[in-house]
């Protein structure tokens, strides 16, 4: 347990550096029982708490609630079981995403969800946010790979959800818990599916004069019926940043880069790749590079995976957005973002999961300049509204957290939010698990008052 102010400061914030809150204290459980004891104590004293993995949340999800306790799970980082025959692993929540794939590698297996932060983020954080990554297009999100959970509910009750089979009967409780942003309790044990490593992987990099051309290439690939494992786009600014940071040796002067990766059984990948290559060559690419070995492939990905942090070199500060638009409206959305950025007088770098319509505009700003941060936040809001207007979502993988609370109410109607709030209240009558996150500001409190008026409250 930590209560020294200097040491507490480390836990004051997460990947969204602009939000800070000093925790009351930080506990470092090594065993599930210690988590249970902590949660029970919080419940008895009505103290809010937040579970924390590596604190890489970009939406303020792991910022402590005011006066709250941080349950830091990094020390619960054992792989409890790795069963190659059953193709599954049982892990503690603090296991780092990439470590699991490393441990599975000797058996020819890997864990598919690969957020760009995979070398530091934890599986507990991945579960809470239903994290994605570059390979979601073919393999789905975290939720598609979690079979079972052992969770500590906010009143200290322990429940097992799901199991180790691919299928469960009854309502999909694992599916509900995954992505619930720490509001339904703490995952203390996670059973995940491991997949055989694909036999063959082929990656190409194509340079285009403009973002729009790259977007059209994505549409052409989708239309062809090919199912790539990943399709990622970076714009000029993101390329510049990645170049400066990791020297990926990307084509010079490109307006946009498209990375497409195919994986699967060798014969299929080889013939699909011929089709893909042909398609890309006809798509107006100024240069096409094909990774000839693993080293070249990793180099292509290094620039992409390092793009967020690389952008940090171009600007003293930046906001990462995470909106989704219908894939067919990507071009339109990117144009609008460009216009909005110009109007705000701010630079925006785009790197994104193009195959999923999942945008990550990085809004560059200088907090020392008067009013610039506010303008950046306004621009971020305007971008999210573009996503909502187009029928998309305010988050594809980073969660709502603290940052996007007010937009949840713009995406959903009041009755929709109330249904979620009722679920939250049944799981957590005191509202102590990650209090203040996800729901619009003031909503939960108003919900409490409104509840007395509902005839259903008494019957429940």
Ligand X SMILES: Cc1cc2nc3c(=O)[nH]c(=O)nc-3n(C[C@H](O)[C@H](O)[C@H](O)COP(=O)(O)OP(=O)(O)OC[C@H]3O[C@@H](n4cnc5c(N)ncnc54)[C@H](O)[C@@H]3O)c2cc1C
Q: Which of residues 204-243 bind ligand X (CB under 6 A)?
A: none
Residue in 13, 21, 38, 62 binding ligand X, rule: CB under 6 A: 62
Residue in 36, 76, 141, 319 binding other proteins, rule: CB under 8 A: 141
Strands 230-235 and 195-196: unpaired
Other beta carbons less than 10 A from residue 236's beta carbon: 16
Quick check: 391 binds other proteins (CB under 8 A)? yes
DSSP string, 405-446: HHHHHHHS-HHHHHHHHHHHHHH-TT--BTTTSSSPTTHHHH
Residue in 20, 78, 119, 163 binding other proteins, rule: CB under 8 A: 163
Quick one: which of 217, 245, 247, 249 has its CA closest to 233?
Answer: 217
Residue 133 contacts which entry, ligand X, other proteins, none (Cβ below 5-8 A, type-dependent)? ligand X
- Work out the angle at residue 87's Cα, subtended by the Cα atoms of residues 82 and 92, and round it to the nearest 5 degrees: 40
Residue 143 contacts which entry, ligand X, other proteins, none (Cβ below 5-8 A, type-dependent)? other proteins
Residue 191 contacts which entry, ligand X, other proteins, none (Cβ below 5-8 A, type-dependent)? none
Q: Scan residues 237-296 and list those touching other proteins (CB under 8 A).
A: 264-265, 267-268, 271-272
CA 180, 182, 183, 187 torsion: positive or negative? positive
Rounded Cα–Cα distance for residues 263 and 270 (Å): 9
Crossing angle of helices 443-451 and 414-427, in 10° steps, is: 80
What are the CA-CA distances from residue 326 to residues 5, 9, 157, 317, 336 (Å)? 46, 40, 40, 29, 14
Quick check: 227 binds other proteins (CB under 8 A)? yes
Q: Quick one: DSSP state of residue 142?
A: G
Residue 163 contacts which entry, other proteins, ligand X, none (Cβ below 5-8 A, type-dependent)? other proteins
Residue in 84, 156, 255, 440 binding other proteins, rule: CB under 8 A: 84
Q: Scan residues 90-129 and list those touching ligand X (CB under 6 A).
A: 93, 115-117, 121-122, 124-126, 128-129
What are the CA-CA distances from residue 209 to residues 69, 140, 215, 238 (Å)? 50, 31, 11, 14
Quick check: 431 binds other proteins (CB under 8 A)? no
Residue in 15, 60, 68, 179 binding other proteins, rule: CB under 8 A: 179
> If phi over 0 gives left and psi between -120 and 50 gives alpha, with beta otherwise, what is residue 169?
beta
- Which helix (DSSP H) or strand (DSSP E) does residue 201 occupy? strand 200-208
Quick check: 289 binds ligand X (CB under 6 A)? no
50 close to 94: Cβ distance less than 8 angstroms: no
* Contact partners, residue 268, CB within 8 Å, separation at least 6: none
Quick check: 431 binds ligand X (CB under 6 A)? no
Quick check: 150 binds ligand X (CB under 6 A)? no
Residue 50 contacts which entry, other proteins, ligand X, none (Cβ below 5-8 A, type-dependent)? ligand X
Residue in 434, 435, 439, 443 binding ligand X, rule: CB under 6 A: 434
Rounded Cα–Cα distance for residues 123 and 190 (Å): 8
Q: Scan residues 343-372 and list those touching other proteins (CB under 8 A).
A: 353, 356-358
CB of 433 to ligand X, least distance (A): 8
Quick check: 57 binds ligand X (CB under 6 A)? yes
Quick check: 181 binds ligand X (CB under 6 A)? yes
Residue 457 contacts which entry, ligand X, other proteins, none (Cβ below 5-8 A, type-dependent)? other proteins
Q: Scan residues 10-69 and list those touching other proteins (CB under 8 A).
A: none
Largest Cα–Cα separation, the chain: 67
Quick check: 398 binds ligand X (CB under 6 A)? yes
Rounded Cα–Cα distance for residues 298 and 132 (Å): 19
Q: Which chain residues interact with ligand X by CB under 6 A?
A: 14-15, 50-58, 61-62, 73, 93, 115-117, 121-122, 124-126, 128-129, 131-133, 181-182, 186-187, 308-309, 397-398, 434
């Amino acid at each position: 347990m930590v209560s020294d102010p200097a040491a507490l400061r480390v836990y004051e914030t997460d990947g969204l550096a602009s939000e800070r809150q000093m925790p009351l204290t930080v506990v470092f459980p090594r065993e599930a029982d210690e988590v249970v004891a902590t949660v029970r104590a919080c419940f008895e004293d009505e103290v809010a708490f937040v579970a924390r993995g590596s604190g890489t949340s970009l939406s303020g999800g792991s910022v402590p609630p005011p006066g709250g306790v941080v349950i830091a799970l990094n020390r619960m980082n054992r792989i409890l079981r790795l069963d190659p025959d059953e193709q599954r692993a049982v892990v503690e929540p603090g296991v780092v995403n990439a470590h699991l794939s490393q441990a599975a590698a000797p058996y020819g297996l890997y864990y598919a969800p690969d957020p760009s932060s995979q070398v530091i983020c934890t599986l507990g954080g991945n579960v809470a946010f239903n994290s994605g990554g570059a390979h979601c297009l073919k393999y789905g999100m975290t939720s598609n790979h979690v079979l079972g959970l052992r969770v500590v509910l906010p009143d200290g009750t322990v429940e097992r959800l799901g199991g180790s089979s691919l299928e469960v009967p009854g309502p999909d409780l694992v599916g509900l818990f995954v992505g619930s942003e720490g509001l339904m309790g703490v995952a203390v044990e996670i059973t995940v599916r491991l997949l055989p490593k694909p036999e063959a992987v082929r990656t190409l990099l194509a340079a285009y004069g403009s973002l729009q051309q790259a977007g059209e290439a994505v549409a052409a690939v989708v239309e062809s019926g090919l199912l790539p494992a990943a399709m990622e786009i970076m714009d000029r600014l993101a390329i510049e940043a990645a170049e400066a940071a990791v020297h990926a040796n990307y084509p010079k002067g490109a307006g946009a880069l498209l990375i497409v990766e195919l994986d699967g059984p060798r014969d299929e990948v080889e013939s699909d790749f011929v089709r893909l290559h042909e398609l890309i060559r006809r798509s107006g690419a100024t240069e096409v590079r094909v990774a000839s070995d693993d080293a070249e492939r990793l180099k292509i990905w290094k620039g992409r995976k390092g793009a967020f942090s690389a952008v940090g070199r171009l600007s003293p500060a930046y906001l990462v957005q995470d909106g989704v638009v219908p894939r067919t409206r990507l071009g339109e959305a990117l144009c609008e973002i460009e216009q909005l950025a110009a109007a705000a007088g701010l630079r925006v770098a785009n790197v994104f999961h193009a195959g999923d319509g999942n945008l990550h505009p990085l809004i560059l700003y200088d907090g020392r300049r008067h009013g610039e941060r506010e303008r950046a936040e306004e621009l971020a809001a305007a971008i999210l509204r573009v996503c909502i207007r187009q029928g998309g979502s305010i988050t594809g993988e980073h969660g709502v957290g603290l940052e996007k609370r007010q937009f949840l109410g713009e995406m959903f109607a009041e009755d929709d939010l109330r249904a979620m709030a009722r679920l939250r209240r049944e799981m957590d009558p005191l509202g102590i698990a990650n209090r203040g996150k996800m729901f619009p500001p003031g909503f939960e409190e108003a919900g409490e008052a409104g509840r007395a008026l509902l005839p259903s409250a008494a019957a429940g």
